[in-house]
Amino acid sequence: MARIGVFICHCGENISRTVDVVKAAQEASGFRGVVHSIDYKYMCSSPGQALIKQAIKEKNLDGVIVAACSPKMHEPTFRRACSEAGLNPYLCEIANIREQCSWVHEDKTVATPKAVDLMHTMVEKTRKDTDLYHIKVPITKKALVIGGGIAGIQAALDIAEGGQKVILVEKEPSIGGHMAQLSETFPTLDCSQCILTPKMVDTARHKNIKLYTWSEVIDVKGYIGNFEVTIRKNSRYVREDLCTGCGMCWLKCPQKKIPSKFETGLGMRTAIYVPFPQAVPNIPVIDKTTCLKLLKDRCGVCEKVCPTGAIDYSMKDEIITEKVGAIVVATGYDLISCGLYGEYGGYKDVLDGLQFERLLSASGPTAGEVKRPSDGKTVESVAFIQCAGSRDPSKGISYCSKICCMYTAKQAMLYKHKVHHGQAYVFYIDIRAGGKGYEEFVLKGIEQEGTIYLRGRVARVFRKQDKLIVRGMDTLSGKKIELAVDLVVLASAMVPNKDITNLYQKLSVSYDRYGWLSESHPKLKPVETSNAGIFLAGACQFPKDIPESVAQAGGAASKVLGLFSQDELAKEPLVAKINTLVCNGCNMCVQACPYQAIELKDLKDKQGKLIRRIAEVNPGLCAGCGVCVTVCPSHAPDLAGTTEEQLYQEIVALG
Amino acid sequence: MTQNTQPNAQDAKRVTQDAGRKTQDAFEPKITAFLCNWCSYAGADLAGTSRMQYAPNIRIIKVPCTGRLDPLVLLKSFEMGADGVLVSGCHPGDCHYRTGNLFARRRWIIFKELLEFVGIEPGRVQFSWVSAAEGGKFVEVVNKITADIKKLGPFEGYNGS
């Protein structure tokens, strides 16, 4: 026998202006099971909530309907109030008569009966509500950070400093990411490596951080608090426990002409190498695609010269599984290939932004001298072309890569510092310098360093004798422009890492059509992903500069620490349950479940003989979509909170 | 399932009575709308917070996901006197439950064919994708189905052969 109370809120005048609340309360009192029905000016206020609590106790209510604003507003408020009065919070339901009734209709004569109908559906639903209790899920207090760029490093350090264990996985031989490649950083012109490498060393030394470099996450299973990840540790062919990083091996390696990925192809490395001198860990890897010993069983010089006997050609890839409670994805970005623009010629002296960073870097292939890659001549003039790929739907990318305006201003400035008599030109669409000190920085480049900005796009770049001719348009003067320069730098569009979506699918996180990770809410949940317990940091979400990446990494770390501050997780109990009496193990729900939350298990009799196989829902994994309910031919599953019975009762209430 | 979920004589009687009361000129249809909690229900909320106005004929029932809806639910709505049914969920690719709305989409493609076969005009059941940011689209969808059902007239039972 239901004893339901209906509480109708005026919401000041927001509801009562178009809904006759007194009449609605009268009508509600006639619904089956309703024993108490009142209206009040502000139900969400303390006195309003007190009315509900009092009625629960005095009238011994076993169900509460609050007819008020959307459940997305105050459902938690009213459920908490009910809980405080001793009523199971899931016996409280909200009839949405503000957003979906009083605010969208002006006529009281149509809004009032609609409000009454909406209340009636909720009364009928509540009659079939049952006590539900939060599902408790244990938490493994160890985090996984994927990607060892600045975002991943910061997230790992912050979590580790918070006292929790972290595993940091990086696919390159060293952590550091793109930031390690940069020369100096805008708008302060700090040397990038000088501010980054101490953090890299801290990361490697931290007692709470376990570092896996030259490794990849190949599989992820489980759910928030209870992930199981599989990591492939690629064979280095160098024993980490013996190597001291003395450098004899790469000094003596005869294979010296291999384009270096770290130097963006502008410099060379050996077959056994560390990507850059400050690499962390400072342990080389052997590139098995170029090493003569591994390819043809010749050479073996590195083994001979190694003073500690660390070289091991027989090393195999290792597969490691780790249990973690939370994951931070910090997989970063890449640049779109310069080859995208045929009209820019594909010349050796047409570089992208990262390549120019290496030319400017004191530790780069030219030791910081700005020389042309084609002939080594000093660059007397340089043209920067903005939005090379970005903001160009015809090339498939409509977004702005966000950081190019700033790094181009910086690069033009650094170039001028290195080649005092040189001239930098920038072809741009708009200058986007939103950030602390950014606008001033761009203006400094123009006013003090003499960078010439030309508003317009470049139609073509072609070679004429030993110069590159840049033909474009200055849309401010309306004139065609032709410049003869030594070097062209494209601010190539930032794109997600190649093939990264394979990993994202394993993580079950959503990403947009470009491959950028989607945040759970664009404004209010910027570090959460669509999968609980997986957070994101840095440019894997969208192009970001260093301070933004670091800030987001800190945000992700604090979410992880917040999660780990509890011993158990309380999960909403709105999950599916299988009626084992009717389940015949047909497997339909197992296949349909978007969360792999259902498994078939053996149903055995007392003697241990198999009776049949039946489906079982893992409540920790179930998200409560109810797809299983509708695919089951025997109606075995049902969904707490929206049971079959409740759904039909609601429809009947409208009859 | 309860007895209420099965069509019975009483329900059938109610349908005919309801239909009898509805005269063509002052016909105000009853439309039951099933909205998914994450996109379309939030879209309907947004229409409210934006103070948009739309036809008052719909009654919204919230479900976690359109993938939760069995076609029988829609048929039951007609039995209980609805003249039209709206189902609205997240856009394909945006489902809160990853792929729930894709199940719904596959189901509706087949269900639509079946509707004609059993004698329910296809326009009486409408499906749409309305995101949490599309208050305006929700208004359009509601006004369209209301106008369409007004044209179709009251639902008077299956007209199939």
pLDDT attached to residue B20? 45
User: Which tokens go with B69?
Assistant: 């809806």
Contact assignment for B80 to A655 by CB distance below 8 Å:
yes
**Strands A598-604 vs A610-617: parallel, antiparallel or unpaired:** antiparallel
Measured CA to CA, the distance from residue A596 to residue A625 in angstroms comes to 12
Give A568 or A1, the one with higher predicted confidence: A568
Q: What is the DSSP letter of A389?
A: B
Measured CA to CA, the distance from residue B58 to residue A127 in angstroms comes to 23
Question: For A173-187, A242-256, A308-322, A502-516, which range has the lowest pLDDT when averaged over its residues?
Answer: A502-516
- Residue A297: pLDDT above 70? yes
Number of helices (H) and strands (E), helices first, in chain A? 17, 34
Taking only the tens place, the pLDDT of each residue in A212-257 is 999 999 999 888 899 999 999 999 999 999 999 999 999 999 999 9
User: Which tokens go with A26?
Assistant: 């009268």
Confidence of residue B1 (pLDDT cuts 50, 70, 90): very low
Q: What mean pLDDT is predicted for residues A557-578?
A: 94
Q: Interface pTM (ipTM) of the complex?
A: 0.86
Residues of B within 8 A of A652 (CB-CB) are 4, 76, 80
Cβ contacts of A203-207, under 8 Å, gap ≥ 24: A203/A148, A203/A153, A203/A156, A203/A157, A203/A168, A203/A175, A203/A280, A204/A175, A204/A280, A204/A281, A206/A156, A206/A157, A206/A160, A207/A160
Residues of A within 8 A of B56 (CB-CB) are 104-105, 107, 110-111, 114
Q: For residues A159 and A166, is the Cβ–Cβ distance under 8 A?
A: yes
Burial of A131 (0-12, 13-18, 19+ CB in 10 A): exposed
**Strands A350-352 vs A258-259: parallel, antiparallel or unpaired:** unpaired
Question: For A244-258, A498-512, A531-545, which range has the lowest pLDDT when averaged over its residues?
Answer: A498-512
Q: What mean pLDDT is predicted for residues A535-539?
A: 97
pLDDT attached to residue A637? 97
Residue with token string 């489902």: B95
Mean pLDDT, chain A, integer = 95
Contact assignment for A654 to B32 by CB distance below 8 Å:
yes
Q: For residue B31, give Cα distances in angstroms to A40, A154, B88, B138, B160.
A: 30, 54, 13, 14, 21
What DSSP element (H or E) covers A109?
Answer: helix A108-127
- Residue A539: pLDDT above 60? yes
Burial of A133 (0-12, 13-18, 19+ CB in 10 A): exposed
pLDDT attached to residue A223? 83
Taking only the tens place, the pLDDT of each residue in A457-478 is 999 999 999 999 999 999 999 9
Measured CA to CA, the distance from residue B61 to residue B85 in angstroms comes to 11
CA atoms within 13 A on the CB side of A292: 11
Of A103, A574, A652, the CB nearest to B48: A103
Confidence of residue B98 (pLDDT cuts 50, 70, 90): confident
Q: Is A556 helix (H, G, I), strand (E, B) or coil?
A: helix
Smallest Cα distance from A303 to chain B, Å:
51
pLDDT attached to residue B25? 57
Q: For residues B29 and B84, is the Cβ–Cβ distance under 8 A?
A: yes
Phi, psi of A72, rounded to the nearest 5 degrees = -70, -20
Q: What mean pLDDT is predicted for residues A142-157?
A: 98
Predicted TM-score (pTM) above 0.90: no
Surface of B (70-89) touching A: CB under 8 A: 70, 73, 76-77, 79-82
Residue with token string 């609609």: A114
Nearest CA in chain B to A642: B63
Contact assignment for B103 to A99 by CB distance below 8 Å:
no
**Strands A268-269 vs A258-259: parallel, antiparallel or unpaired:** antiparallel
- Residue A317: pLDDT above 60? yes
Q: What mean pLDDT is predicted for residues A388-392?
A: 92
Percentage above 70 pLDDT, chain A: 100
Q: What is the DSSP letter of A100?
A: I
B61 close to A (CB below 8 A): yes
Measured CA to CA, the distance from residue A373 to residue A485 in angstroms comes to 14
Phi, psi of A462, rounded to the nearest 5 degrees = -145, 160
Q: What mean pLDDT is predicted for residues A202-208?
A: 97
Tell me if the bond preceding A187 is cis, omega within 30° of 0.
Answer: yes
Confidence of residue A647 (pLDDT cuts 50, 70, 90): very high
- Residue A425: pLDDT above 90? yes
Q: For residues B97 and A625, is the Cβ–Cβ distance under 8 A?
A: yes
Q: For residues A258 and A269, is the Cβ–Cβ distance under 8 A?
A: yes
Residues of A within 8 A of B98 (CB-CB) are 508, 510, 530, 594-595
Contact assignment for A647 to B32 by CB distance below 8 Å:
no
Smallest Cα distance from B161 to chain A, Å:
26
B98 close to A (CB below 8 A): yes
Confidence of residue A1 (pLDDT cuts 50, 70, 90): low
Within a 10 A sphere around the Cβ of A427, how many other Cβ atoms? Answer: 26
Q: Please list, residue by residue across B46-79, b when 16 or more beta carbons sit within 10 angstroms of its beta carbon and e when fewer do.
A: bbbeeebebbbbbbbbbbbbbbbbbbbbbbbbbb
Give alpha helix (H) positions in B25-99: 40-49, 71-79
Give me the sign of the Cα torsion angle A336, A339, A340, A344: positive
Nearest CA in chain B to A644: B1
Mean pLDDT, chain B, integer = 84
Q: For residues B65 and B106, is the Cβ–Cβ distance under 8 A?
A: no
Measured CA to CA, the distance from residue A24 to residue A67 in angstroms comes to 10
End-to-end CA distance of chain A: 22
Percentage above 90 pLDDT, chain A: 91
B103 close to A (CB below 8 A): yes
Q: For residues A111 and A101, is the Cβ–Cβ distance under 8 A?
A: yes
Nearest CA in chain B to A636: B1
Surface of A (177-196) touching B: CB under 8 A: none
Confidence of residue B94 (pLDDT cuts 50, 70, 90): confident
Taking only the tens place, the pLDDT of each residue in B40-84 is 999 999 999 999 999 999 999 999 999 999 999 999 999 999 999
Q: For residues A197 and A211, is the Cβ–Cβ distance under 8 A?
A: no
Report which residue type is found at A105: H
